[in-house]
A and B are shown apart, each in its own frame.
Chain A
Amino acid sequence: MQRIYIHPLPVRIWHWINASGFVAMILTGIQIRYVGLVDLISFEAAVDLHNWIGFILIGNFFVWLLFYLFSDKIKVYHPELSPVKYFHESFRQLQYYGYGIFKGNPNPHHVSAYHKFNPVQSMSYQIVMLLIVPLQFYTGLLLWDVKRFSGTVELFGGVRVVDTVHVLLFIVLTAFIFIHAYLATLGHTPTAHIKAMITGYEEIEEEPEQNPSQ
């Protein structure tokens, strides 16, 4: 086993704050939306928590953003500029998750410090972090004080429109959290990726030497 440092400290801090924050946001969001069906805490307390955690997450988002903007680690998000190559690699990755993994085939993606995401991860994280999460923060901010942002709210078509977008993104992120957590268990051991996000070091199985005849 080889240990590669792929998760710098700011990323790990951001990740675990973000992860726990999103779980809390989902739970308080469910409480806010489903009073009567779920009665873990009061509506008022759920709204207060939701707002506070939301602001923490917005601040935390900028930790992530600024870290990557001002470090060379941003390379991990560099997109594959060749669409053919990108789709080919993505297809290989999906083929692995949907088929090869059951046959015991090796993961086609090989992790390195500047190449820690497979093509599917890279694309989905960019969609989540640069589109879904900011939009969720923005709609959340508008809903936090509808009167203060009434002009923008009206521009979007009203508070119900903003809320509907917020809830749709909440649904997407809820599904994402489950899938993300499961995929985190698909390392060489179920806890390998999780440990890596704590220690920063990913354990990489050493590559077998290539057979020249192949």
Chain B
Amino acid sequence: MASSRKEGATASGTFHTALVTAVIAAFLVLFPVAFMAAPAATDVPADSLSEEDATCLSCHSDEGLEKATANGEMLSLHVRGEAFARSVHNWIGCAGCHTNVDLEDHPAAERAIDSPREFAAQASRVCSQCHSEASLKDGPEHHAQVSNADGPACVECHEAHSIEKIEQWKASVEETAYCLTCHGRILSVPLGSSETHSLFIDEAVLRQSVHLDHECADCHIVFSKDIHEVRAFASEREHSIVRAEVCRQCHEEKFELYQGSIHAALIDEGDLAAPVCTDCHGSHSVGPTAAYETITGVPCKNCHEAVFDAYAASVHGQARSKLGHFEAPICADCHRAHDVSVASVGDRLKNACLGCHMGAMSAHQAWLPNAERHLEVVSCPACHAPAAQRRIDLRLYDSVAQELVSEQEGAPQFENRVRSADAKGDGLDAVALWKLLREFNRDESERKTTLQGRLEVRTGVEAHRLSDNTKAIRDCDSCHREGAEPFQSVAVSIVGPDGRPVHYGAQKEVLTSVISVDSVGGFYAIGGTRIKLLDVLLVLALFGGISVPIGHLTLRWLFRKFLNRGAREDASKSP
């Protein structure tokens, strides 16, 4: 055909021939690459196989040929002759691998096979005759395979009868498909601990995630078709923490917010139970933001189960789950999603309440004296979680810097000082508390440590048991009377290194002692924390105010004869 074309060549014909030749050449180059993995190639006919192999295929080319295994699954015995003829192993022939097939006694119907997977594992052992384990270990992509006896058999990834030259196959598949060839199967590696790390990726889940358009290497940038380094992790947790860096590549802003959170602080402290990105979002199943803002989908409940249960039963949780008010707040609305801070420190939560309940301040001002002051020193749940037990938290506060005092990392001054002040161990009394403050103010002229009192609920669980407004505490007497419940429990606190408050118990008398004028000057609840000495003074004043006139009157009555004599003397002096 080429010579006949040469005979009729013209100038334009030469160009045309070159073009056609180029197209054909390109086709010949690209065709195998594009269709190398395609199963029904017809360029290498099955009849190119040996006579022995053709004999086998006379039965095994039947697509319906299969055998029941012991576990009830069906094992396909079908072999695509064309594919095998095209495979890199075609020269070996059927008997080259299936050395145990006895043609005199075939099929061995009575020979039980446990399962297709067991059969694949058994059949794959043949591979090691040529491909030794040592040679596989040289390729890091086989690390998990050779490290784990339960890993996929050779034929599960490479197929059995259509194995191509590996370079050709790599070039023919997309990168993600390449990864999923192995990672789409049950695959795991043992870690330094007794844990096993799963390497299985469910592609269906991945494609349902928000990252459906991403390829593996978009995130796993250190991996590719050609690079597959072996990494060692001491534990699953360590791997999760390192994995957060993968998320950071795209979500730097969120990562920075997370770095300022209590969760990150706990990780830094060595508390590896604190969550990282994948604990909340999953690794390959990352859903849209809305998926994490539902009663069923919110990840916080995985760790904070008791708190979440309290929330779910609260007015907010019920509004969502029963009334369908999806604008009702869920965890992240108050605590935020990434820069989660400690609830009982700072104004964030109060502001979160007032952020939604914008009329709350004016509503309180309509009936509550000193409403702003109340909202400042009384936490919202203290009244709006009416069943909760409450307490007074006396926070160490730097009135110069106008911030809560924090424990110095590595130097637990608070713990040492409170224990030193409370020698008996029965809680700080008024004198001990005063001494504690003095200790904090010793040699630190640049700051003035005081105590900032706050009425709050005792536990985080109780803080979430918010009721509707009709059940909120509105009775002033519940606080403004002697012996009121909130003042029966008192604690002194400092902000710990991780941002969480560190509490130490104090005796309730610290709120009613005369020393409290100095040590707890910033906190006072009329009636509830009144100073006993002033009560005594009032009684004395009343006693004096009543008894002095009565005494004076009595004396005047007793001396009435002198009174009369004086009057008479005056009269006698008159002219």
Pairwise interchain contact B524-A159, C-beta atoms closer than 8 A: yes
CB neighbors of B among A9-39 (8 A): 32-37
CB neighbors of B among A182-202 (8 A): 182
> Nearest residue in A to B483 (C-beta to C-beta)?
A36
CB-CB under 8 A for A36 and B477, given A158-B523, A161-B517: yes
> Nearest residue in B to A47 (C-beta to C-beta)?
B369
CB neighbors of B among A161-180 (8 A): 161, 163-164, 167-168, 170-172, 174-179
A125 in the interface, Cβ–Cβ < 8 Å? no
Q: Closest CB of chain B to A138's CB: distance in Å?
A: 17
A146 in the interface, Cβ–Cβ < 8 Å? yes
CB-CB under 8 A for A171 and B373, given A102-B563, A160-B523, A163-B524: no
Contacts of B483 in A (CB 8 A): 36
Q: Closest CB of chain B to A163's CB: distance in Å?
A: 5
B64 in the interface, Cβ–Cβ < 8 Å? no
CB-CB under 8 A for A106 and B548, given A146-B373, A163-B524: no
Q: Closest CB of chain A to B191's CB: distance in Å?
A: 56
A105 in the interface, Cβ–Cβ < 8 Å? yes
Pairwise interchain contact A178-B546, C-beta atoms closer than 8 A: yes
CB neighbors of A among B494-518 (8 A): 516-518
Pairwise interchain contact B399-A154, C-beta atoms closer than 8 A: yes
A72 in the interface, Cβ–Cβ < 8 Å? no
Contacts of A154 in B (CB 8 A): 399, 522
A211 in the interface, Cβ–Cβ < 8 Å? yes
Pairwise interchain contact B559-A103, C-beta atoms closer than 8 A: yes
CB-CB under 8 A for A37 and B482, given A171-B534, A178-B545: yes
CB neighbors of A among B304-359 (8 A): none
Contacts of B548 in A (CB 8 A): 178-179, 182
B192 in the interface, Cβ–Cβ < 8 Å? no
Contacts of A181 in B (CB 8 A): 549
Q: Closest CB of chain B to A47's CB: distance in Å?
A: 5
Q: Closest CB of chain B to A198's CB: distance in Å?
A: 21
Contacts of B553 in A (CB 8 A): 182
Contacts of A74 in B (CB 8 A): none
Q: What secondary structure prevails in chain A residues at the interface with B?
A: helix
Give A33 to B520 CA distance when docked, in angstroms: 19
Determine which of B517, B541, B558, B575 lies in contact with A171 in the assembled complex, contact meaning CB atoms within 8 Å: B541
Contacts of B523 in A (CB 8 A): 158-160
B132 in the interface, Cβ–Cβ < 8 Å? no
Contacts of B546 in A (CB 8 A): 178
Give A32 to B528 CA distance when docked, in angstroms: 10
Give A61 to B446 CA distance when docked, in angstroms: 43
Determine which of B480, B544, B565, B573 lies in contact with A211 in the assembled complex, contact meaning CB atoms within 8 Å: B573
A157 in the interface, Cβ–Cβ < 8 Å? yes
CB-CB under 8 A for A175 and B544, given A33-B530, A35-B480: yes
3 tightest A-B CB contacts, nearest first: A104-B566, A178-B545, A158-B521
B interface residues, Cβ below 8 angstroms from A: 367, 369-370, 372-373, 376, 399, 450, 476-477, 480-483, 516-518, 520-524, 526-527, 529-531, 534, 537-538, 541-542, 544-546, 548-549, 552-553, 555-556, 558-559, 562-567, 569-570, 573-575
Could you give 30 example pairs across A and B, Cβ below 8 Å? A32-B480, A33-B527, A34-B482, A37-B482, A43-B480, A44-B367, A97-B552, A102-B556, A102-B558, A103-B559, A103-B565, A104-B565, A146-B373, A147-B370, A154-B522, A158-B450, A158-B524, A159-B522, A160-B521, A168-B537, A174-B541, A175-B541, A175-B545, A176-B545, A177-B545, A178-B544, A179-B548, A182-B552, A208-B574, A211-B573
**Contacts A102-B563, A145-B370, A174-B538 known; 9 new A-B pairs at CB < 8 A:** A104-B563, A104-B565, A145-B373, A146-B373, A147-B370, A160-B523, A163-B524, A164-B534, A175-B545
